[in-house]
Structure formats: structure tokens, C-alpha cells
Chain A
Amino acid sequence: MWNPHQPLSKSTRYGLAGSSYLLVLLVWSAIAFFELASSNALPAPWEVAQGFMVLASYNEAKESYLLVDATIASVTRIGLATLLVTSIGIPVGILMGSSPKINAVVGPLLDPFRSAPIVSVLPILVIWMGIDEALKVAFLVLGSVVYLVPMTRDAIVAVPREAYISLKDLGATDLEAIRHGVLPMAMPRIWDAVTVAVSIMWTYITVAEYVNADSGLGQLITHAKRFSAMDQVFAGILVIILLALITNISLVAAKRALFPWETE
């Protein structure tokens, strides 16, 4: 039981995971069934399922599938923000990790933002960027870049010294030693950093879509809350969690495919 290295078979792992989901569902159902909480505070699982069906089916008034449209809008925003944050954050992180001097200059400017209340920056962003699409993507980028950059830097720094020294000894220039020795070794951890950054974006998506709510899953939830449709609020949240989970699983699977040597 108390052994961090104990191997678990696939069936045990999935069995245990499944039963923990089932347990939550049971407790949740029991609370609803015995009316321990008002359906406004905690709608029953079957009510949430109904709310999901309402969102997922064709909406006559708006002449569209609300959930599908919202999902496409949110996923597009996160996709765009991921593209931006990786193309800015990874090079900056690599530069910081590769040069203690650059790190000494940029680090103190960037590191405090990891614990800064990014959400409270939103009103400032509104003033700077308006309330349209650019604001939403910029907020997601800002919220995740403060994690991606330091994690990329740490990935570079964590590569064993031997990688750099061995390459230098073979006659590499400083940059070649980074390029051919350090960077390839840091790639799996940089990939982890991207995975974390994308997960963080999913947690910020409702906030990003709260301002000038016109589309997206965040808007869907805000809208449902306005009409006190708590079942739909819960359904919306569950969809976000599910999408975040799918993203995470895909990125982990991609890591295994891209860096097979890491797990060999």
C-alpha cells in the first residue's frame, strides 16, 4: 500500500479511478435524493444531465446548437492562445535557462507574476485592448505565460551539467552545446510546461469569456447563471473539465510518441 514505486496494472488503475467517480456520483445523488441541499445550490445529477441535453440539442430561438458553437469558440481561443504563448514563452524560457545573466535580468520581472492575481489585471487589459476577441486571447496568454516561461527555464536548468560539458569538450561553441546537448534533453519537460500552460488556460476560459460575453463555454455558463439555470451551469462546467481532460490526455500521449526515449 505505502510504496510510491508500486506498479499498478491497467485494470486496477482504471477500476480504482472508475470507482472514485462512481463514489462521487453516489454521494451527489444521495444529497439530491434526500434533499440535503436545495436544487438551486446543487442540482441533482439527472437534472444536470437534462441541462446538458438542453444545451446540446438544437436551439430553435437562436437557430443553432449552443453547446457545439460554444465549444468551437472556446477551443479556437485556447488554440490561438497556445500558439501565441508557446511562440513567445518557450524562446524566452530557453534564453533565460541558457544564460544566468538573462535570467537575472528577466527573472525578477517575471517570477513575481506567478503569484500575482492575474484576474485583477483584467480591467486594465480591457482599457488597453478593448473588449473584443483580442482581449480574450491576450488574457489567456498572460495567464499562462507566467507559468510557461519559468517552467521552460527550469527545464533547461535541470538538464545534467554533463550534457553541456561533454558537448563543449567535443569542440562545441556555447550555443552549439545548448542546441545539441541541453535543448534535446530539456524537450520532454518543456512539453510538460506546455501541458500545464494549456491546463491553466482552461481554468481561465470562463473569466476570459465573462467580459462582453458573446460566445464560448464561459458565455454559456454566465448566461445560464443569469437565468438561475443551475443545471446548465453545472453541465457547462463539466464540459470544460471534460475538454481540459481530453486536451491533457492528448498532450501526454503526444509526449510519449514524440519522446519515446524518455520512458524507455
Chain B
Amino acid sequence: MAYGIQLQGITQCYPDPSGEGEITIIEGLDLCIAEPNITMLLGPSGSGKSTILKMMGGVRPYGVVTPSGGTVSINGELCTGEHPDAVMVFQHYWNRPDLTIAQNVALPFRLGLWKGRVSENEQKERVTWAMKMCGLEHRADNRPAQLSGGQNQRVAIARALALKPKILLMDEPFGALDAQTRKEMQALLIQLRAETGCHVVFVTHDVEEALLVGDRIVVLSTHRPSDIALDFNLIDPKPRDDLWLRSTRIGKIETEVFRALSGEGSPKDLRELGVEVNR
């Protein structure tokens, strides 16, 4: 079997905010990501897309067992916690304010896990490489406070890249950035993915972002418990520009995606638009 991420029969419950009982936000979800590409998890707030991503990363920030039911496997191995192949990048990037940018990128190598795996020479090489990839080579001695929001997010991405992850999990990483910076970062991500060959799973609620960046787009429906409403591959070459986005064909795809989000879409309509439909 090819290297990949497999989710089977995923169910997720959270305690109801009212304090009584539980709410089921995902029920019986299956998803297999085998192709190394950029897979977009697209859904409205509360559809459970971040929860799914965190399951893949084994991150349990809220003290709730995830998943409540079903299994997550990476490369055929059952995942019960953080997996060293998968590294997450969050919307609210976090860089240590007391360290320089180079030290921030090298931060994982202070941890036992990576200290043992990567020799000191290679650590240095990887940090230099990751900073160069993210256009931070001239910022090595700056501190996070001296950088803009976009550049700080680059630091977080560089830190993830330095670990050479097989899976990069991104939770609305550009959500807090201004439009221009966001475009730059999307282009950077496409370039990085192509050069590193890793799997990228990218959570967003922005349909345009999904279309511009995604190779595969998995749409989660609004209703509860949420399920995959649409799953298709977009094989159009990248980079995709605004002109491409405004074309009639993509406009129609966009409409179908919006219909899927609200629970009305039909894969049949998409096939006519030259799109590979997985479901």
C-alpha cells in the first residue's frame, strides 16, 4: 500500500456547551489520502474540519478523546498520539519571542525526539535550508517581534519544514494574514510542496483558497453530524491566478462547491466540468 493517511469510521463527540449530554459533530467518516498532494479540507465553522486535522496530527488540545470512534492510521500504522511523520502549522502561529528566528526554526532540535534522530551537522544544514526555502535567510538574527505576521507564519512553516515531515498539516495557516501576504504564502506553499514532495492537508473555510491551492478538495457539509459532501481532484496547473479563478468553468465549480456546503450539491454536475470526482 502506498504511503498515506487513512481515516476509518471516524466519529467525534464533544460535551455539549450547555453541560448536558454530548453533541456528535462527525459520524462514520471515511477518508483516505494516498497521493502526495495538497488536500484541502473545506467546510464551514463547526463542521469538524480542524478536529479531523488534529486527529491526523494526534493533537488533543481540549482534553477530549479524539476520535470518539473509528481509527486513524498513518502508513498503515494505527495512530494513537502524536506521529513523528506529521507536523502541524496553526493559524495562530507561535514563535518564542525570546529566541532569534534561526533559533526558533531550530527549536525542535532541542527536543529529545529530534536530537537523537538528526545529527548536529544536519540540524544546521536543515535550518539553513528551511529558512532559505521560506525566504528568511536574511532574518536569522531578528526576533519574532521585529517581523510581520506573514513573516512569522513563514518561521512556523520553516520550523515544520526543518523536520522534513512526510505530512504537513495546516490549520487555516493563512487565516490571520492580509490578502496580499496570503497570496504570497499560498504561492510559497505550492512551491514548497512541489520541492519537498510531502503530503499537505490544509484546512480552510475559504472556497477561493481551496480552489487556488488544492489538488484535491474535500468538502464537509454544514449539517450535523457532518459528512463529506463532495470530494474531487482539481488537476488544473499551478500557479492559478485570478483570471483562472474568474473563468466560467471555475465559477461553475465554485457554485457546485457552495451547493455541497449547504447540502445540495451533486457530483454528477461536477463531472461535466472536467473534474475527477472521488465521491
| Interface set of A (CB-CB < 8 Å, partner B) | 160-163, 165-173, 176, 180-181, 184-185, 187, 259, 261-262, 264
Contact = CB atoms under 8 A, between A and B. Distances in A.
A264 B84 CA distance: 34
A171 B88 CA distance: 10
A170 B97 contact: no
A180 B98 contact: no
Given A162-B94, A261-B97, A264-B143, A171 B84 contact: yes
Interface in B34-49: none
Nearest to A180: B110
Nearest to A166: B94
Contacts of A165: 59, 61, 90, 94
Contacts, number: 66
Given A170-B107, A184-B96, A162 B90 contact: yes
Contacts of B87: 169-170
Interface string B90-116: 101010111000000001101111100
Given A169-B87, A170-B107, A180-B107, A261 B59 contact: no
Contacts of A262: 97
Interface in B106-139: 107-108, 110-114
Given A169-B82, A171-B82, A180-B110, A163 B94 contact: yes
A262 B88 CA distance: 26
Interface residues of B, number: 26
Contacts of A173: 111-113
Nearest to B117: A171
Q: Chain A interface mostly helix, strand, loop or mixed?
A: helix
Given A171-B84, A264-B143, A176 B98 contact: no
B176 interface: no
B98 A170 contact: no
A176 B97 CA distance: 17
Given A162-B90, A163-B94, A165-B61, A171 B145 contact: no
B158 to A, nearest CB: 12
Contacts of B173: none
B143 A172 contact: no
Nearest to A179: B110
A163 B99 CA distance: 13
Contacts of A264: 97, 143, 145-146
B55 interface: no
Nearest to A175: B112
B150 interface: no
A180 B143 contact: no
Contacts of B90: 162, 165-166
Leading 4 A-B pairs by shortest Cβ distance: A171-B113, A162-B94, A264-B145, A166-B94
Nearest to A258: B98
Contact of B163 (A161, A166, A170): A170
B94 A171 contact: no
9 contacts: A162-B94, A166-B94, A167-B107, A167-B111, A171-B108, A171-B113, A176-B111, A176-B112, A264-B146
A180 B111 contact: yes
A168 B82 contact: yes
Contacts of A161: 61
B123 to A, nearest CB: 13
B57 interface: yes
Contacts of B61: 161, 165
Given A171-B82, A264-B143, A185 B97 contact: yes
A184 B98 contact: yes
A134 to B, nearest CB: 38
A47 B224 CA distance: 80
B159 interface: yes
Nearest to B58: A169
Nearest to A264: B145
Interface in B165-208: none
A161 B60 CA distance: 12
